[in-house]
């Protein structure tokens, strides 16, 4: 049962999105143009220990305003399709202007092309809109730990719909057996970024980046960064 305190706190944010004061908890912003869903997701977040609803907004304009505040959010739950706006483009905006903010896509769309385009834009995972409280908690904690989160139902639909060839090449992205996170790192290595710079861009620890690079080089069967770049170019993982 939701307490009146929780209801009142969330109600006060509905029509005038503001950033709540930092209190050591995980600060989350919802970007969703359907008010009923936005309200329900906000209440759900308020029920999870150590989660704080920092803002609930219905447009990219409101989102950008919040992101300019001095007290930033850590996670953005991003609707893939906003009225008159593109959640993929808004995700790209976040990763360009606030690279430390992690994005989790919210969607009812199980189209593999849309999902992978969202991940390519910089999202750390995707979650179906009918997700449970436990799913939401797992998704947020997973991306905060530097890993990717894929809603089990959506992941099944993606892999079930794609042929073997399409699993490695969809939405214009050559995956070649690598995860989206690995592809992000490969591209940054090809651009000349070091582990510290990559970690800063992806909001991960340098140790996590080192682990990813080790796994990437193992898959490529190479031993140096130079060999990694050559492999990436030859296999269409990077276009100079």
The whole-number pLDDT of residue 57 equals 93
pTM: 0.64
35 with 14: CB under 8 angstroms?
A: yes
Question: Could you state, in chain order, the average pLDDT of each consecutive group of 10 residues for the chain (240 residues)?
Answer: 37 40 76 90 89 92 88 89 88 88 84 75 84 89 82 63 51 64 86 88 82 91 88 80
Q: Looking at the domain assignment, is residue 240 inside a domain?
A: no
- Same domain? 194 vs 110: no
- What tokens were used for 236? 């269409």
Last residue of some domain: 166, 184, 201?
166
Based on the fold, state whether residues 10 and 99 are members of the same structural domain. yes
Provide the pLDDT for residue 76: 96
Q: Are residues 39 and 123 in the same domain?
A: yes
Q: Which residue has the tokens 């989790």?
A: 104
CA dist 167 and 172 (Å) reads 11
In a domain, 190, yes or no: yes
Residues 103 and 216 in one domain: no
Could you tell me the residue range of the domain that residue 102 belongs to? 4-166
- pLDDT value at residue 14: 42
User: For residue 158, what pLDDT is reported?
Assistant: 60
On the 0-12 / 13-18 / 19+ scale of CB atoms within 10 A, 140 is buried
Per-residue exposure over 60-88, b if at least 16 CB sit within 10 Å of its own CB, e if not: bebbeebbeeeebbbbbbbbbebeebebb
Residues 38 and 79 reside in one and the same domain: yes
User: The domain spanning residue 190 has which CATH number?
Assistant: 1.10.10.10
CATH code at position 86 = 3.40.50.2300
Structure tokens at 180: 């989206």
């Amino acid at each position: 049962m939701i307490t009146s305190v929780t209801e009142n706190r969330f109600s006060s944010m509905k029509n005038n999105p503001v950033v709540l004061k930092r209190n050591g908890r995980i600060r989350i912003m919802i970007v969703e143009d359907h008010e009923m869903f936005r309200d329900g997701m906000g209440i759900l977040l308020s029920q999870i220990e150590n989660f704080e609803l920092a803002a609930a907004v219905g447009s990219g304009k409101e989102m950008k305003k919040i992101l300019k505040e001095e007290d930033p959010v850590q996670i953005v739950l991003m609707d893939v399709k906003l009225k008159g706006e593109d959640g993929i483009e808004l995700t790209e905006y976040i990763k360009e202007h606030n690279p430390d903010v992690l994005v989790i896509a919210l969607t009812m769309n199980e189209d593999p092309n849309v999902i992978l385009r969202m991940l390519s834009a910089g999202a750390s995972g995707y979650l179906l809109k009918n997700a449970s409280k436990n799913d939401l908690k797992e998704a947020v904690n997973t991306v905060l730990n530097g890993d990717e989160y894929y809603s089990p139902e959506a992941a099944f639909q993606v892999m079930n719909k794609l042929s073997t060839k399409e699993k490695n090449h969809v939405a214009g992205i050559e995956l070649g057996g690598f995860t989206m996170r690995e592809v992000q790192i490969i591209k940054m290595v090809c651009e000349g970024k070091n582990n510290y710079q990559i970690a800063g861009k992806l909001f991960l620890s340098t140790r996590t980046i080192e682990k990813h690079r080790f796994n990437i080089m193992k898959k490529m069967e190479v031993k140096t960064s130079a060999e990694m770049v050559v492999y990436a170019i030859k296999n269409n993982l990077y276009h100079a």
